[in-house]
Every structure is written in structure tokens, then in C-alpha cells.
Structure 1
Amino acid sequence: MIAAEDLEQQGFAGEDPAIGKESDAMRSWIRCENLNYSVKAKKKQIHILKDIDCVFPPGRLVALMGPSGAGKTTLGSNALTLRGPGKAEGAILFNGKPSSKAIMKRYSKLVPQEDILQPVLTARETLRYAAELALDASKEERHARAEELISMLSLEECADVIVGGTGLKGLSGGQRKRVSIALEMIQDPSVLILDEPTSGLDSKVAEDVVDIIKRLARTGRTVICTIHQPSFQVFAKFDWLLLLNKGKVAYNGAVDRVSEYLDEVGAPVPAYVNPADHFMLVLSQPVPNPSCEDFAELFKASSFYKDAIADAEACKAAEDAFVAEREASGKVGVPESRRQSAGFATSAWWQFRVLLHRTLMITLKDRAQFRVRIVQLAFVGLIIATIFWRMPNDQDRVQDRISVLFLLMLFLGMSSIMSTAMVVTGERPLVHREVNNNFYTMSSYYFSRVTVLVSFQTLYAVCFCAVVYFMVGFNSDVAKFFKFMLMFVVIALFTGCLGYTAGISFPNIQAISAVVPMMVMPLTLFAGLFIPVANIPVYWIWLAYLSPFQYALEALIVNEFAGEYLNPCSAEAIATSGECPYGLCNSNSSSSEALPCSGDLIINRYEYNFDAYWRNFGIIAGMTVAILLLGLRQIRKLVSTTK
């Protein structure tokens, strides 16, 4: 049993040197009365939780257990937080008042099973950025909060080690879990729900993590852990067990009395066997008492059920006293905290600045990805440059010159699409977590990420052009070089934004890899290289008008050939083909000798517009803006489905 005045006597609250002392601002009671929860699947309602009656008081470390499919994650992560897709019936009360999604979002935090963190940031950087986003305070106070959490979660020795992840050495599993918990503690929540915090950890590390969680509970927080197959040592650290079976309560009582309960119902725990393991085994077998239909009835028929009711009544009395005291002092029934707010703690502009700084740091610290991209562009650029090395400005090389323009444009575009798409898919879980915690708006995140994307896509395009332009032997005019580079920059921006939007719109890189080629191939097919735009059938011409590659190729050809002269065909070319491939310069001449050819004739041959460059540049820029707006719509839609 627990009452407000008995918290310290039972060890459920009080001061911990590393954690701090109890505060009324942290204390919250959660009660479920006749709670039912169902989800809709294939046009029918599936009932997951049935008639749940329980109470979660402050200061108590509660283990939420059950076999697979029992409903423990549904109760902890969905029903109590009111964030899930299902329908809750019955009552969920927060400090005696009907709970709501807004209240639970403000005062409770959920630590997911997976550690969703930025691999290249250190633990200290991770917490500082979170504090910058989540707290309405001065810079010194934000950093002090981060340092407070580092001490609270015993992260001092690894605070400046990168988090790490797949293929990147960093923090250990237990340290990453503590960083995840610290992130949710940034806003000083009164309710902390942890989804299997010991999953994937060895027994000693699991014990250490639960020790820290228990110390957090002792400050007066309401702490609930869904947990699966804990060791004896870990199980013994919990104060209370709420055990579910087939969506119903199979046990609701003190952890240290589990063995007594199993003795009473005729399923005693064998010697040297973990009570938690034995209880789970019992649930997989027929009910020990034939007169009981299920384990929920078995529990209600026991004396422990009366104890659970008495405990719930004591908790309610403590809760009522706490609420009455707050109302008498002019406070509402929910706690207050300077670190919590119903909306966003900071302005959209501040969020953009912090996210821009964080995104830039992540991009620069992720040296492997940066190097791969640079090496990829340099390697392919050098291959193309050596194939077309210092290509002579001859009439018989016109088609080669146009082909290499198209090839360079296509490679830069495809590599931009895939590289940006992979960034988005990797960040998606983190964005979901931070947006659900009201760290920032989606617009702030999106535009900060796009700003960095634009910067680096521009850098990559400039480096690529600098490598290939003069090696291939394009027009040596400086103005034409910069116009060439500018067109490649806008193509890199368009394709980068297209990849970003694709990464937002599709669930994983496999789907993106399947869909993107289907999107890009028609755009390249009707770019004007394989078939002149004038010869495209009328029922396909709309694809040419939608293709940025068509506009870019026209602009690049006009830039390369307008006002220039092509050397006569070489004797070898005439000897091989019998004539100059284009046959343009001599067609109206009485001379039998090969003559220089105006590049304007090439532009006329393709029926291109001599003034196309800036018009086409504007069209591609407009397409880029349209793709960005579509991406913003998609990312808002994506995140709204998770709230």
C-alpha cells in the first residue's frame, strides 16, 4: 500500500545525492478505471485491453509484464499516452482529472525500445542540442540542464564519446540507453514510460540501467517499464508488478509477494527459479483452478485482489489529498514545471537556427559519407574526362560533345537523388521522436535540412564541374564555364530535392530504389538526346515539358555551341564515313573543301531557342521550388500520422 505521507517511510521518495529531491511539481497519479482499448483492422475492431483497473502512483517503480500479445506495450505506449491509433473506452485519470492527449504529451515522456539517436554526435552534444530546442531558458541554463542530466544518468566518463551505431564505434548499449533516457528527461517530466529498457543488454548492464531508473522514481516521478523476461536481480529491483494476460490483469501487486501469490493459487515457484520466469510459464498453461475461466478471474478470486483494491484506495486518498492541497493553493490538478509548456518552448526562428547548426555539424562530422560522395564524383568525373579527354572542337565530334553533356548531367542528377534520399530515411525515426516531444515544428526542421542540402549540393556540383569541364575540352570562354556550372548546380538542387521528397514519401531505401528509376527514366528518355523534342509523339510531349533534363540539355547545348565555330571534319572522318557527319557547312557551298561550321547550325538542327538559357534556368528553379513545397507537405503529413 502507499499513501502520500508514507512515501518516504516506504522508500518511494526522498532525496538521492545524484538525482535530487522530490518536488510536488514532479508528482502525478495515473489511474485506469475499466479501461478497454481496441484497434480497427480489416473493418473490424480488435479488443486488446479489457477492463483494466490499476493505479500508477509517484515514487513507485512499476514493471508492466505479460506474454507476447498480452497488451503490455499497448497499455504503456499507446493507451496511457493517448498517442496510439486505437480507441480507448473507460477512464484514464491524471491527478484525478480526465486525461487527454495534450496533458499526457506535456507531462509524460516515452523512452522507446530502440535508441533513436544521432550516431555522430557525442552524448554531451546530443543533450545540449535537445536542451537548446526544448527549454525556454538562457544558454547557460540549457547547458546546465544537460550537465545535470549527464550527472544524473552517470554519463560523465563517456559524455564526449560519439553515440555510434552500425559500423561506427561509440557508446556501449547501456550508455546509449542512458542517453535515450536523458533525452526524455530534458523537460523534467512527471511521468516516465519506458518500453523494454533492458532489451538487448547483458545482465549487469541491465541491472545498472534499472538502478538508475529506480533512482528517478524515488524523486517522486511516476515510472512505468514494460519489460520482457527480466533476470531475477533485475526483477527484484521493481516495487510493483502489473501482469497482463490476453489483455486482462493477471496480477497487480508488490513484486516481493509474487511467490506468495503463486503459492496461494496452486502454482508454487520451484527452488532456484526466477519468479518472473515461472509466472510466465504458468500463464502458458491451463488455469490452476478449474473453477476460474482465465487468469484474470483467478487473480480476482485470490486474497491478493483485495490487497490490490486496498492499495488503490490508499493511492486515491493520497491523490485526493495532493490535488486538494494544490487547488487550495490556487493551482490546477496537474503539476507545473518551468521546463514544460503546452506548445513549443522556443520560436520557429530559434528552432531553425539550432537545427541548422546541428544538421551542419552532423554533415561535417559524418566524414565517411562526405568522403564517399566526393570520391564518387571525382572518380566518375575522371573516368568520363579521360574517355573524352581534350575533345577536339571538330564537326565529327559534335554528337560526342552533346552526349557527354547529357551523361554528366544524368550522373550528377542520379547520384544526388540517391544520396539525399538515404539521409531522410535514416533520420525519420529521430524526427518522429523529437516532433512528438514538441522540440520543434516540422517547418523548422524541413527548412534547416533543405538549407544544408542546398549548400552541399552546390558544393558537389561546383567540384564536379571544376574536374570535368576543362579536361573534356568544353568551350574555353570563362562566362560559358560559369553558365555551365550554374546549370549543373540547379540540376543538382532539383534532383537533390527530388530525392529528399522521395525519401519522405516512401518508407525505406528499397522502395525508393524501386520507384526513383521509374520516375527518372521517362524524364531522361524525353530529354531530347534520343529523340528530338520536335519528333516526340503528341501524346508523350507532356513528359518532355515536365523533364528538367530537357530544359537543362537545351540550355547546355545553346551555351556550348552558340556563336562558336566548329573545325572542319578531319580527313580520317571523311575517309571513314565518306562525308562529314553533319554535312552542314558545305551543303550550300560550291567549294569541295571542308569548311568551318557555325555552332548556330547545330542549335537550329535541334530546333532550340538561342535565348533558352535563362528561361530554362528559371523553369528548373521553379520546378525545384515546387518539389520543395511538395516535400514540405509530405513531411507534415508523414509526422501527423504518428502523433
Structure 2
Amino acid sequence: MTLHRSGSEPESSSTIAMAGLPMVSEAHHGAVLAYPVQTNSSSLLQLTLYPITLKFEEVVYKVRLDQKGFCYGATSNSREKTILNGATGMVCPGEILAMLGPSGSGKTTLLTALGGRHTGKLSGKITYNSEPFSGSIKRRTGFVEQYDVLYPHLTVTETLLFTALLRLPNSLTRDEKVQHVERVIAELGLTRCRNSMIGGPLFRGISGGEKKRVSIGQEMLINPSLLLLDEPTSGLDSTTAQRILTTIKRLASGGRTVITTIHQPSSRLYHMFDKVLLLSEGSPIYYGPASTALDYFSSIGFSTSITINPADLLLDLANGIHPNYSQTIEQGDSTEQERKAVRDVLISAYDKNISTRLKAELCSLDGNSYNYTKDASTRKNVWSQQWCTSWWHQFKVLLLRGLRERRYDAFNRLRIFQVISVAVLGGLLWWHTPTSHIEDRIAMIFFFSVFWGFYPLYNAVFTFPQERRMLIKERSSGMYRLSSYFLARTFGDMPLELALPTAFTFILYWMGGLKPNPVTFILSLLVVLYNVLVAQSLGLAFGAILMDVKQATTLASVTTLVFLIAGGYYIQQIPAFIVWLKYLSYSYYCYKLLLGVQYNENDYYECAKGVYCRIADFPAVKSVGLNNLWIDVSIMAMMLVAYRLVAYLALHRV
């Protein structure tokens, strides 16, 4: 794909619609540049808009469909499906381009390509002020996805503030970023719900329209010159959709270049668009002013005698439905051949009446543009842009955001009840077990290693699959480094994930009557917490590798079952050809360490009345041994690091 942008132009803008600052103007080489008055700091100059004219020519995107034979020996072949086929157009500052078309027509694919987010094989030319997509353009581009990806337990203000702290440069102070958030809240009409939680599937929060405005607000924080929106009115009632688009129109009037996909707008919404691009199965059939679309289709023989919403007529045509035959079509009497014939006529008319003129117009405006094919190395250079904030700043903000978001999840009443009830029930079952009941005491120790080997594993499996959409959204915007996110998540989970096993150990250890020595208790607690971290690491690795909750939990179930059997308690003499399994089990090492903390080789227990036996000779203890404990600690440390490293590397695919 060929991309263009001009990097030599001065930083200029039209009026800043959302900043709410008085403006002063000065002449500069015949042009009028607008700057915000420095009410607080000169760094507020960074809010100035940088006008972007976006042009795209003959954008084509194809995917390969692999087809494999079902019979033995059948050869596999592949064919290509065209998603986009020659989309062309131009959007200037202050304009709104609406991309219309039925589902599957390629609207979202084209939008992601225009936003520099498409990693597939594209051909054609996309330019930003006649130069290619770059880190500078990326930082000036806002992308609002169709579905609002927001943290449910954060308030509106917290959501926008954390976004501002991550996306606005270090040259702005924290107070200036807070003031910027206040301006966005006021501009988007979110004052009434500013302290309300976003909400999620399990509890009610703000309304759908307010969530959409919050999503738009996250992008408006960087004062984008180019704003891309994917179905911003999807799922909203007509009044709320009108408010959203009125806000977008106001943002465009401030000098922004706005492109939006929209499925089926009302007539009120349609007349707010400046330009329309109509797609039919990936091929453009109209590009031009929204106000002249009906006249164009009438001129080529597709007129209607009734008053109709222009968007409805355009969508009928994109589906291959002639307006004069719409009633027949609704009754199901049309054939695919008839629809294809209508689409062929529309595509032919577009090539004859619009395409040639549009290409000539774009060529005359190209100036000194150059062609360049987008390949893997170019994409790498685009994404290796300089970050707006330091690694340490990103880590601190992400750590604080994670703690605020997950405080409800980590300490919800159900989890607390689950852990405490198991601890109390276990304490009652093992109530002050005598030292002579060595089988029961060892069983209790094994229960520690099993429960806190499986419980954190299953919880950690959900971590990255649940945050996948958020991670993709924020990383695509260049908000933070993956390493800062991963370490913030790692350290943020520790106090939350270690509190419950600490309470569990306090209850069961003393109720069960294990060795009443403070040092022994503290060492036992540390071993349990160590086991929790290793188990959690494996769960994070499973989740990051598969990124699917069902598959990850299935793999976790098989793994935990194997670790349980090979943990050294149920089977003392594992066959030689499969004995290696127990050395992969962190439950085995935790069990051995807990035994080593409680007992040593010189301890004895009453194995019969008046007869004492060495604990080290008891089968369940002898099978694992009480020596070389530091080796076991080291092996678990290697597991901890290796599992976390695998999880981190797996996230790079996302």
C-alpha cells in the first residue's frame, strides 16, 4: 500500500473546538495561524490542530480462502476473496465522510486501513497531506471502535483521566491534563454522569449513548486532527444517535478530518454528512457530496417516485435492489442474478461517471507525492515511534488503574466467602490433628499445595483473554509499551492475589494443629504464597497463548489433574518411563517444601502404641524426601520466570 503525508508544513490549525480557550491569530507567510492563549502554560500549544487532508486511491484488499478436500488424498487449493476493490476518495479538514453499505461490504476494513491499523496485505495508495502514514500521524489520529471497550468499575472521570495520563505528553503537567479532561467532559455533555461507573454485564452503569461519548472523549483528549469512527450510532435510539452525530459534526467544524462508517442512518443523520462513499461487496458505486447522491442515481436510471430516506435508497442499491422493484424484492421474488445485474450496472456507471473524474482530480492535487509499498519493514518502522511518556510513568499509571479496576473483582464477597469457607471447613475436619496421626497431617499439607496450586491457576487463565480487546485497542493507539503493561499487571495482582491465601493459611494452619512455631508458620506461609505466584504464572501463560477462555480452562484442567496425580502423595512409585511428569509439577515441589518446613529427618512419630518411627521413613514422605530444599526453591523460581516470560512473548502476537 502506498501512503503519504507532508511533514514540512508548520503546526497550524483552525479554531480549537473542544479546548475552550480564547484564540489569537498572527500572519505567517500569508497564512493565518491560530494559537490558544497561554492561560496556564506554553505547553498548551500542543492542543493546536494540525490539518490533515486524507486521500486514498485504488485501495484493494484480498484474503486467501484455503479449501481442503475431505477425502483421503484430496489436494488442497485456495482462492482469493476481494474485500475491497478500488476504493478511492479524499477528505479535507472540516469535512465528514460517511461510508455506507450493507454488512460485509468492506466499510470497517477500509476504515482500519485509513487509520494505519490494518496489518493485512493492502495495495493502493493512502496519503496524509501527500506523505505516508507515520508515527506523527498516528499520534494525531483518533480511532473510535464500534463496540465501547471500557473498564466497567472505573468512573467516567477516572476513565478519561487515566487515558489522559497515558496519551498526553510529559511536557504537560498533571494539573494541565486534569484541566484538559474537564474540558472534554464539559464539551461532550458528560458532567451529569462524571462520577458514575461505566458499568458492565453484571451491574448497571451509564447509558449506551454516554458510553459512546466516553469512547469519543478518550480520542478527543489528544485533540486529533484525524478522527475515525466505526458505527458510532450502532445500538442507539434515534435521539441519542442524533446527539452523538451533532457532537461529531461540531468536532469536525473545528478543523478536524472525520471519517465514519454507518449502517443505516436516519434522514436527519444523512443530511449531516458532507461526503458519502457507498460500497457494494467491496466495490464503490458512489462517491461525492451527500446532497447530490439521489440526483446522480436518478441520472443513471435509478430513481423512485416516492419520498424516501436517501440512506434507505442507497442501501437498497448497494444490495442490488432496484427502487422500482423494491416491493417485489421484499416478497422474495428476486434472484441473485437480478441483484448482480443491478450491481454490475452501478459499478459500470461509477467507473464511467465518477472514477475517471475523481482520479484526475486527485492527481492534480498530488503535487510531489511519491509511491511506496507498505511491507513488513515499513510497518515495523511505523510502530517503533517515540513514546509520548516514559516507561516508568506508564508503569505507575497502569499499576494505579489496575488496582482501582480490580479491587472489586479481587475482593468480591463471593471469592472471600469461597476461600474462607473452605479454610474453616478444612480446619474443622483436621481440627488439632495429633502428631501421631501422621497420615492426616501429611494429607493436610498436600491439600495446601493442591488448593493453592489450582485456585490461582484457574483465576489467572481469564486475565488476558478478558483484557484482549482492551489491550488491542490501547496498544493500537500507542498508549503504552507492552512491557510496562505486563509488569504493572504482574505487580498489581500480587497484593490482591496474595491476601486470600494468607488468610486461608492463618485459619487452616492453626485450626489444623500444625507445628506451633512462629518461624515454621511464616516459612509455611511463604511457601504457599510462592506456590500461588508460580501457579498464577502458568495460568497467565495458558491464557496468553490461547486467548480463549474455554480452551485455556480445558488445558488448565488437564494440567492440574496430571499435577495432582503426580504430586507425590497419591502415587509414591511412579513407573520409570513417566516419572519425569512429577518434576514438571509445581505442586510436587510445594508439597516437598511444606514437608521440609514441618519436619526433618530426625523427627519421630508414634506409629504404634509405645513404638516410634522416623517420619522420613513414612512412604508419603520418603517418596519426595526432606533434603535439597534449596534446589526445589530454585526450580520453582525458574518456573516462575519461564511461565511469565512465555506469557509476555505470547502477548506480542496480540
TM range, normalised to the smaller chain? 0.7 to 0.9
The TM-score, its normalising length taken from structure 2, stands at: 0.82
Counterpart CA distance in 1 for 2:284 and 2:313 is: 17
Kindly indicate whether residue 407 of structure 2 is the aligned counterpart of residue 374 of structure 1: no
Residues of 2 paired with 1:358 and 1:41: CA distance? 41
Mapping 1:262-301, distance limit 5 Å: 262-285=297-320, 293-301=344-352
**Alignment of structure 1 residues 48-59 onto 2, 5 Å:** 48-59=83-94
* Superposition deviation, residue 305 in structure 1: 6.8
Structure 2 residue aligned with 1:94? 128
1:199-348 matched pairs, under 5 angstroms: 199-285=234-320, 293-302=344-353, 312=361, 342-348=385-391
Q: Report the Cα offset of residue 284 of structure 1.
A: 2.5
Given that 2:135 and 2:386 are in contact with CA atoms closer than 8 Å, whether structure 1 keeps it comes out as no
Of 429, 437, 442, 1:387 maps to: 429
Deviation (angstroms), 1:224: 0.4
Distance 2:471 2:627 in 1: 44
CA–CA distance in structure 2, aligned partners of residues 547 and 27 of structure 1 = 59
**How far apart, in 1, do the equivalents of 2:584 and 2:178 lie?**
50
Is residue 603–residue 609 contact of structure 1 (8 Å, CA) maintained in 2? Answer: no
State which of 145, 156, 172 in structure 2 corresponds to 1:112.
145
Matches within 5 A, 1:438-517: 438-517=478-557
Cα distance, 1:148–1:539 mapped onto 2, change above 3 Å: same
Cα drift, residue 597 of structure 1: 4.0
Task: Determine the structure 2 residue equivalent to 1:156.
Answer: 191
> 2:611 matched to 1:595?
yes
Q: What CA distance in whole angstroms lies between the structure 1 residues aligned with 2:60 and 2:305?
A: 35
Offset of 1:118 from its aligned partner? Answer: 0.8
Cα pair 1:457 1:489 within 8 Å, conserved: no
Q: Secondary structure at the match of 1:38?
A: strand
Maintained 8 Å contact 2:595/2:621: no
Q: What's the CA shift for 1:435?
A: 1.3
Q: 1:283, CA displacement in angstroms? A: 2.9
Partners of 2:500 and 2:385 in 1: how far apart?
42
Partner of 1:242, secondary structure, is: strand
Are the counterparts in 1 of residues 18 and 251 from structure 2 also a CA contact under 8 Å? no
Q: Structure 2 CA distance, aligned partners of 1:13 and 1:215?
A: 13
Letter in 1 for 2:96: L
1:198 and 2:197 matched: no
- Cα distance change on mapping 1:550 and 1:274 into 2, 3 Å: same
More off after superposition, 211-220 vs 45-54: 45-54
Taking a change above 3 Å as real, the CA distance of residues 419 and 184 of structure 1, as seen in their structure-2 partners, is same
Q: CA deviation at 1:271?
A: 3.3
Comparing 340-349 with 167-176, greater Cα deviation is found at: 340-349
> Structure 1 length normalisation: TM-score?
0.83
Q: Deviations over 1:34-60 (max 9, x none)?
A: 222223332544322222221111111
Report if the CA contact (8 A) 2:457-2:538 is conserved: yes
Partner amino acid for 2:227? Answer: L
**Structure 1 residues 191 and 611: CA distance shift in structure 2, 3 A:** same
Contact 1:236 1:256 in 2 (8 A): yes
Deviation at 1:452, TM superposition (A): 1.6
Q: Which moved more, 1:478-487 or 1:253-262?
A: 253-262
Whether the aligned pair in 2 keeps the contact of 1:63 and 1:224 (CA below 8 Å) is yes
Contact in 1 for aligned 2:144/2:216 (Cα 8 Å): yes
Structure 1 Cα separation of the partners of residues 546 and 411 of structure 2? 22
| Superposition deviation, residue 392 in structure 1 | 2.1
Deviations 1:55-101 (A, max 9, x none): 11111111101122221111111x2123223222222121022x235
For residues 127 and 348 of structure 1, what CA distance do their matches in structure 2 show?
20
Superposed CA offset, 1:586-639 (max 9, x none): xxxxxxx53344434438961544344443233222311221122221122x23
The answer on whether the counterparts of 1:129 and 1:354 sit within 8 Å (CA) in structure 2 is: yes
Distance 1:430 1:299, change over 3 A: same
Task: Kindly state the Cα deviation for residue 213 of structure 1 after the two structures are TM-superposed.
Answer: 0.8
Deviation at 1:412, TM superposition (A): 1.9
Aligned to 1:572: none
User: CA distance change for structure 1 residues 506 and 181 in 2, over 3 Å: closer, same or farther?
Assistant: same
Q: Which of 567, 574, 595 in structure 2 is aligned with 1:557?
A: 595
Residue 41 of structure 1 is matched in structure 2 by 65
Question: CA–CA distance in 2 between the matches of 1:199 and 1:507?
Answer: 27
Residue type of the alignment partner of 1:468 = L
- Tell me the distance in 2 between the aligned counterparts of 1:300 and 1:544: 69
- DSSP-derived class of the 1:154 partner: coil
1:367 positional shift: 5.2
Superposition map of 1:386-425 within 5 A: 386-394=428-436, 397-425=437-465
Letter in 1 for 2:488: S
Distance 1:568-1:51 versus aligned 2 partners, 3 A rule: closer
User: What's the RMSD between the two structures over aligned residues?
Assistant: 2.9
CA contact (8 A) 1:243 1:252 kept: yes
Which amino acid is the alignment partner of residue 254 of structure 1?
Answer: P
Identity of aligned residues (%): 30
- Tell me the equivalent position of 1:624: 640
Query: Which consecutive unaligned segments of at least 5 residues does structure 2 have?
Result: 1-12, 24-32, 35-47, 67-77, 324-337, 370-382
2:58 and 2:280 map into 1 onto residues whose CA distance is: 16
CA–CA distance in structure 2, aligned partners of residues 307 and 160 of structure 1: 52
C-alpha separation between the residues in 1 aligned to 2:539 and 2:611?
A: 46
SS where residue 438 of structure 1 aligns? coil
Between the aligned partners of 1:629 and 1:86, the Cα distance in structure 2 is: 27
In the alignment, does 2:403 pair up with 1:352?
A: no
Cα deviation code 1:213-248 (max 9, x no counterpart): 111111111100000011222222212111111222
Question: What is the rounded CA distance, in whole Å, between the counterparts of 2:205 and 2:472 in structure 1?
Answer: 23
Counterpart-to-counterpart distance in 1, 2:89 and 2:266? 25
SS at match of 2:259: strand
Instruction: Work out the number of aligned pairs and report it.
Output: 577
Displacement of 1:270 in angstroms is 4.7
Change (3 A) 1:527 1:176: same
Kept in 2, the 8 Å contact 1:417–1:499? The answer is yes
Secondary structure of the 2:150 match is coil
| Residue number in structure 1 paired with 2:580 | 542
